[in-house]
């Protein structure tokens, strides 16, 4: 794992908890210095939440090391996960360097949210092993990983990566065109913009909005994505008739949705104040409760899938 920020620590915690041998490296010594404790804490938390197995965690923890250099960290790696800063030139240089220091790696994946694999691999002579594999925060808990293969990516290696990701309990999906925020980020951005608008226009309070989003649309969507929900609702009426009837109310809502693309400084202050008023002073209790709900929900969905 190259890059020991929040995303890199999440990937490392996930792999350590699965018993995989992880080397974490960060060119900024500072991040790497604090990182091991945090990785261990997050990996252990997966066991506490019933998301990982104590024996595998032990194996992963005893194999975990911090790399002294890029060469030392990656030269024997089978899979290199890049999680460095979101800057194209810096990423291009890193991927170019990896060709000489880590020729044996089967896959080199970028966790980039906004950059495409073609640009990231622009200086590589071997783009076949390069693609974007974008996780969602908290990385070790949310199963989705968005894969963006480039024009030069070897499709057999994409399948290999999917197998590794599934072994880690991840759910890979394929993005056919890189777009800022990918798919999950665009959906989250649409939700959060609307959530800000609804509070700032006085429709609902912060805590009621969060409760509504959680036990309303989020539950529906967790059980079935938007298109499947629509498909199941159409029923015997048939898709076209049902869609036309539904569009009347959807178009009424679409015309109400927030349109702004920037949050002005005074809006930023108002929403921050509203959120602080709702949640400040109980952050750690709320975080533990969120993690419990997330772990319980993940477990329930996996069991329902197998059932």
Which residues 118-157 are close enough to bind its own copies by CB under 8 A? 136-137, 142-144, 146
Q: Which of 41, 48, 220, 245 binds its own copies (CB under 8 A)?
A: 220
Sign, CA dihedral 86-87-92-97, equals: negative
- Show the binding pattern over residues 161-200: x = contacts its own copies (CB under 8 A), - = does not: ----------x-xxxxx-xxx-xxxxxxxxxxxxx--xx-
6-17 and 29-48 helices, crossing angle to 10° = 50
Q: Which is nearer to its own copies, 6 or 99 (CB)?
A: 6
Least spacing, CB of residue 113 vs its own copies, in Å = 6
Do the beta carbons of residue 83 and residue 92 sit within 8 Å? no
In angstroms, rounded to a whole number, what is the distance separating the alpha carbons of residues 238 and 219? Answer: 25
Please compute, for residue 287, the number of CA atoms within 13 A of its CA located in the half-sphere on the CB side.
7
Q: Which is nearer to its own copies, 68 or 287 (CB)?
A: 287
Interface of this chain with its own copies, residues 243 to 302, rule: CB under 8 A: 243-244, 247, 249-257, 259-263, 268, 271-272, 274-276, 278-279, 283, 286-287, 289-301
Helix then strand then coil, in percent of the chain rounded to 5, is: 60, 10, 30
Least spacing, CB of residue 126 vs its own copies, in Å = 27
Least spacing, CB of residue 145 vs its own copies, in Å = 9
Q: Which of 217, 245, 270, 281 binds its own copies (CB under 8 A)?
A: 217
Residue 35 binds to its own copies (criterion: CB under 8 A): no
Q: Which helix (H) or strand (E) holds 284?
A: helix 283-306
Least spacing, CB of residue 128 vs its own copies, in Å = 23
Least spacing, CB of residue 205 vs its own copies, in Å = 7
In angstroms, rounded to a whole number, what is the distance separating the alpha carbons of residues 26 and 2? Answer: 6
Beta bridge mates, 173: 146
Beta bridge mates, 172: 145
Least spacing, CB of residue 279 vs its own copies, in Å = 5
Phi, psi of 130 (to 5 degrees): -105, 130
Beta bridge mates, 66: 24
Residue 205 binds to its own copies (criterion: CB under 8 A): yes
Question: What are the helix (H) ranges across the chain?
Answer: 6-17, 29-48, 54-63, 70-74, 88-101, 117-120, 155-167, 182-200, 206-213, 219-223, 226-234, 239-254, 265-279, 283-306
How many amino acids of this chain bind its own copies (CB under 8 A)? Answer: 112
Residue 30 binds to its own copies (criterion: CB under 8 A): no
Please compute, for residue 118, the number of CA atoms within 13 A of its CA located in the half-sphere on the CB side.
6
| Residue 173: count of CB within 10 angstroms of its CB | 12
Q: Which is nearer to its own copies, 101 or 294 (CB)?
A: 294
Residue 231 binds to its own copies (criterion: CB under 8 A): yes
Q: Which is nearer to its own copies, 101 or 144 (CB)?
A: 144
- Show the binding pattern over residues 64-103: x = contacts its own copies (CB under 8 A), - = does not: ----------------------x-----------------
2 DSSP 8-state letter: B
Q: Which is nearer to its own copies, 78 or 179 (CB)?
A: 179
- The interface region with its own copies, picked from 60-68, 74-82, 149-157, 207-215 by CB under 8 A, is 207-215
Q: Which is nearer to its own copies, 93 or 293 (CB)?
A: 293
CA-to-CA separations, 158 to 9, 95, 104, 133, 172, in angstroms, rounded: 23, 18, 17, 10, 10
């Amino acid at each position: 794992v190259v890059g020991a920020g929040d995303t890199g620590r999440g990937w490392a915690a996930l792999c350590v908890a699965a018993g995989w041998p992880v080397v974490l490296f960060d060119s900024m010594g500072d991040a790497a210095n604090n990182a091991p404790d945090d990785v261990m804490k997050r990996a252990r938390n997966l066991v506490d939440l019933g998301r990982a197995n104590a024996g595998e965690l032990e194996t992963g923890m005893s194999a975990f090391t911090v790399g002294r250099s890029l060469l030392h960290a990656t030269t024997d790696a089978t899979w290199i996960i890049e999680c460095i800063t979101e800057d194209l030139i810096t990423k291009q240089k890193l991927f170019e360097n990896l060709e000489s220091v880590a020729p044996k790696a089967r896959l080199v994946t970028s966790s980039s949210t906004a950059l495409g694999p073609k640009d990231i691999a622009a200086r590589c002579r071997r783009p076949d092993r390069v693609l974007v594999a974008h996780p969602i925060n908290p990385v070790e808990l949310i199963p989705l990983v968005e894969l963006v293969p480039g024009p030069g990516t070897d499709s057999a290696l994409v399948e290999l990566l999917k197998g590794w990701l599934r072994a880690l309990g991840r759910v890979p999906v394929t993005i056919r065109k890189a777009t800022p925020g990918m798919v999950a980020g665009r959906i989250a951005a649409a939700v959060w913009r609307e959530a800000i608008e609804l509070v700032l226009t006085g429709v609902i309070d912060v805590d009621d909005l969060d409760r509504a989003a959680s036990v309303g649309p989020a539950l529906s969507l967790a059980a079935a994505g938007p298109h499947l929900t629509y498909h199941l609702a159409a029923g015997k009426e048939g898709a076209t008739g049902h869609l036309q009837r539904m569009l009347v109310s959807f178009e009424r809502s679409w015309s109400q949705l927030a349109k702004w693309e920037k949050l002005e400084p005074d809006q930023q202050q108002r929403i921050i104040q509203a959120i602080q008023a709702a949640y400040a002073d109980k952050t750690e209790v709320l975080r533990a409760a969120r993690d419990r709900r997330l772990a319980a929900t993940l477990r329930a969905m996996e069991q329902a899938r197998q059932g």
